[in-house]
Amino acid sequence: MKHTLTPQRYLILLAVMLTASVGDTLLSRGMAQVGPVDFHHLDRLWHALFNPFVASGIILLIGFFASYMTALSWADLTFVMPATAFGYVVVALLSRFWLHEHLSIYRWTGIVLIVCAVGFVAGGPSRTEHPSRHPDLDLMDSGAGR
Amino acid sequence: MTATTPIIPASLFHAWSAILAVAALAIAGEVLIAGAMRRLGDLDLLRDRPGIRGYLGPTRAVLSSPLFLAGALCMALNFFAMLYTLSIVDLSLAAPATASLTFIGNAAAAKIFLRENVDRRRWLAALFVCLGVILLAH
């Protein structure tokens, strides 16, 4: 069985990479506008849901969970894992180029390491195929035995 | 006192026990959910009709999987364990420590329980992600 990913599956992996990090960033921005929530002001959590940043963050995180589960249905956990880690790189790059924060040499090295990790895994197969318990039936299903 | 100073001072053993518990719950949750999705197979094949209503079939299949529910429970416990950990350990230690332990633990658990082919390339990727996360926390 070939393990080439279709363009649609690459899009799902891209969604895994982007939705979690951008969703977290939006939640953080929104909660900064809402202000601190404590036990005496729990009603602020309800109001937070109507903040546009918090609402968009929640929608993106639901999107992350859906795309993550979809990816796990056709790829190994150890294949999808570096894609989720790439979210850290997206947050670091957003903070550098959007929020104009300074990135230290440690952080740039961290970014390079995670990018390398994604490259290592992306070059290999996406799914481990276990040997079938009934190879004869598989042969008949494929039509090769006819 | 800074804003990131933990509320309760914790002993080293106490702090690392909490961090290990968070990582263990995350690993259990991820492996159970990955196991559930592997059993269900490609979710696109479970779509029984076109359009948005076609997603009802895959959603129902996922939500009725006992492995998925067990995984989701572990993830929920992981969330509360992380909240507790943040009350006794600085975020600058807790976040990279739990994330990197989870990445290495996931690779080992995927090899043992899901029988994934974790070759040298994937071990190296897990190690690089682990180091990368620690460096990004600096």
Q: Average pLDDT, whole number, for chain B?
A: 86
CA distances from A86 to A13, B35, B37, B86, B94 (A): 10, 23, 22, 24, 19
* Cβ contact B131–A69 (<8 Å): no
Residue spans of chain B under pLDDT 50:
1-3
Q: Is A14 on the interface with B (CB under 8 A)?
A: no
| The pLDDT of residue B9 | 58
The rounded average pLDDT for each run of 10 residues, N- to C-terminus, in chain A (146 residues) is 72 91 84 77 81 92 91 91 86 80 89 90 79 56 48
| The pLDDT of residue A36 | 75
- Per-residue pLDDT reduced to its tens digit, B93-121: 888 899 889 989 999 999 999 999 888 98
Specify whether the CB–CB gap between B34 and B110 falls below 8 A. yes
Q: Is A130 on the interface with B (CB under 8 A)?
A: yes
Specify whether the CB–CB gap between B18 and B90 falls below 8 A. no
Q: At what angle do helices A52-74 and A77-97 cross, to 10 degrees?
A: 150
| The pLDDT of residue B8 | 56
* Cβ contact A73–B30 (<8 Å): no
> Which residues of chain B neighbour A73 with C-beta distances below 8 Å?
37-38, 40-43
pTM given for the model: 0.79
Q: What is residue A60's three-state secondary structure?
A: helix
For chain A, helix (H) and strand (E) counts, in that order, are: 6, 0
Specify whether the CB–CB gap between B46 and B40 falls below 8 A. yes
Q: Domain extents for chain A?
A: 7-128
* Cβ contact B132–A81 (<8 Å): no
In a 10 Å sphere around its CB, with 0-12 CB exposed, 13-18 middle and 19+ buried, how is residue B48 labelled?
A: exposed
Q: Is A106 on the interface with B (CB under 8 A)?
A: yes
